[in-house]
Amino acid sequence: MSTNHLGNSASSKPVDLPKSVEESYRKKCIDLKARIRELEASNNARVSTIERKRRAVQRARMLRAVLMDYLEHHTPGRVEGSPERSRSPSPTPPPREKPLRIKQSKTITNPVNSSSSAPKRRTMSSNSKQPRQPKPRPAYSIFSDEHLLIHRARLPSNHKLYRPLSPGNEQPTPFEFPDGEDPTQADLHRLVAAEWRNLDQAKKDEYSEREKAEVAEWLAEKKEAEEAKKAAAAKK
């Protein structure tokens, strides 16, 4: 028993490695720690870059949504002054008249040509286009339309985007831009978008109620137009 105990105690002692091996392990540990620090620094830089790009994508999406909404509500369906195509087809030309063939009697006589009148041309009256009903605007579009008019009136009178308010409205305070700065339409839209983001929720709810009112009015007009169309078709 004593011999086994001494043998186990001797085997539990750590094995002494040569100094060269220990030195190589120590250098490897130092290199691994340095590599880990480099990877952590690179990872932090990539995380900050991804965050900046994500914010840039969000800004681009918001600007795109604003521009698409503006184009949807301010681009006409047909350019004014362009000729409107008539839906009536071109009339078909009348058939050529042929002389009637009359049997000649024994005495030679000249055949008599028929004096039938040319067939009348059938013409179709072109269907008059019904005026397009304006679509209801979202709450932000109502806010944007109103504030764009105000901001245009705040521009200098010699600016290309300047539009005065209708008579009876109080003229807003003019903009104060640094010398040489020329605001564009996109700048005005960004300003309106920032105002909408900072608007109180109670004010946003008011514009939402106006949106619901426009939707209800649009649905009522649409239903009335459909009923009038059905009544006109029934009379025919």
- Cα–Cα nearest to 144, from 191, 107, 100: 191
Query: Three-state SS for 124?
Result: coil
> How many degrees, rounded to 5, is the angle at CA 143 between CA 142 and CA 148?
105
pTM score: 0.43
What would the pLDDT profile of 5-34 be if each residue is shown by its tens digit? 445 554 556 667 788 888 888 889 999 999
43 vs 53: CA distance, rounded Å = 15
pLDDT at residue 214 greater than cutoff 80: yes
Residue 101 confidence class, pLDDT cut points 50, 70, 90? low
Token pair listed for 148: 């764009």
Alpha-carbon Rg for the chain, nearest whole angstrom, is 43
Q: What is the pLDDT of residues 176-212, one digit of tens each?
A: 666 567 788 888 888 899 999 999 999 999 999 999 9
User: In the predicted model, is pLDDT for residue 121 greater than 90?
Assistant: no
Q: Compute the mean pLDDT over every residue in the chain, rounded to the nearest whole number.
A: 75
- Complete DSSP assignment for 79-121: -TTPPPPP-SPPPPPPPPP--------SS--PPPPP-PPPPPP
Q: How many CB atoms lie within 10 A of CB 153?
A: 19
- HSE on the CB side for 215, CA within 13 Å? 8
- CA dihedral over 60, 64, 70, 75, signed as positive or negative: positive
Q: Which amino acid is at 138?
A: P
The string of pLDDT tens digits covering residues 135-177 is: 888 999 999 898 888 888 888 888 888 888 887 777 777 776 6
Instruction: Check pLDDT > 70 for residue 90.
Output: no
- Specify the residue for token string 């709810």: 205
103 vs 89: which has the higher pLDDT: 103
